[in-house]
Homo-oligomer: A and B are copies of this chain.
Amino acid sequence: MERNSGQLKNAPIGVFDSGVGGLTVFREIMRQIPNERIIYFGDTARVPYGSKSQETVTRFSEQIVRFLKTFQVKTIVVACNTASAYALEALEEDCDVPILGVVKPGAKAAAEVTKNGRIGVIATEATIGSQIYTQYIKELNRNVTIYGKACPLFVPLVEEGLLQDPVTDEIARRYLAELIDLEIDTLILGCTHYPLIRSTLGRIMGEKVALVNPAYETALELKGMLADKGLLNQTPPALGSDQYRFFVSDKAEKFVRFANSIIKYGILSAKTVNIEEY
């Protein structure tokens, strides 16, 4: 069914992640385009994605896209680096609304920011293994070198709430040591959980290293894309309408608790759906 431009402007944006990490992207979208309605889905029954295979992550992501499309979303943001790395191409093939991942905007910002041409990427095992950041950055600037480092313990440490903790410091020091030795001047936080330990990472890397947050860059890109297509919502949603709706595949209460600890917006509830049925 064709929709007219007014209907499309009012349509929500779909945002998904393997769990809670994508809320850092949601938060940036809230801030940068506050008139938009958002449907957020966190795949908490099957989290994490970062240690799983391309085939599995793609199958999971396709189910979620089918779920989000039941809300007639005007665009979908893949707010998960692993899913962006592994599944974006397959999702684009199958989808009639624009799909935006977090990797390209992060890569673009890093390519612009670096001065010495030495860029570090920290991310999940899957994202690093895919070499996707390297590939995108090289397309923009052949004269840079990209060093990837998988940091599998950061996600559990963040989810345990150890955002400021000597253990997180010690693990971060181990993961980052080789990037410091390689004298990078730019570090991409290539997993949506990592902005939550940004101060620890910044302290260890030192003031001279610029931290790139793909969540921020993605919201900026999304805003530009919607503006170009004339799809930005010009007026805030009516009072009392659900501007933000949250869905998860497991444990709604736990999700709501975590969400409220990182977003300043009283999230009252999330709904559990059986995502394997989509």
Does A2 lie at the interface of the complex (its beta carbon under 8 Å from any beta carbon of B)?
Answer: no
Say whether B153 contacts A53, CB under 8 Å: no
Interface residues on A, range: 20 to 34
A276 nearest in chain B by CB position: B276
Instruction: Indicate how many identical chains form the complex.
Output: 2
* Bound-state Cα–Cα, A273 to B249, Å: 21
Does A171 lie at the interface of the complex (its beta carbon under 8 Å from any beta carbon of B)?
Answer: yes
* Min CB gap A113→B, angstroms: 31
Of the 9-residue stretches A27-35, A44-52, A215-223, which lies at the interface with chain B? A44-52
Does A156 lie at the interface of the complex (its beta carbon under 8 Å from any beta carbon of B)?
Answer: yes
Does A139 lie at the interface of the complex (its beta carbon under 8 Å from any beta carbon of B)?
Answer: no
Does A117 lie at the interface of the complex (its beta carbon under 8 Å from any beta carbon of B)?
Answer: no
* Bound-state Cα–Cα, A187 to B79, Å: 41
Does A271 lie at the interface of the complex (its beta carbon under 8 Å from any beta carbon of B)?
Answer: no
Give chain B residues whose Cβ lies under 8 Å from the Cβ of A254. Answer: 51
Question: Which A residues, 257 to 276, have Cβ-Cβ distances below 8 Å to chain B?
Answer: 274, 276
A168 nearest in chain B by CB position: B167
Give chain B residues whose Cβ lies under 8 Å from the Cβ of A274. Answer: 59
* Min CB gap A40→B, angstroms: 19
- A: which residues have CB within 8 A of B? 44-46, 51-53, 55-56, 59, 152-153, 155-157, 159-160, 166-167, 170-171, 249-251, 254, 274, 276
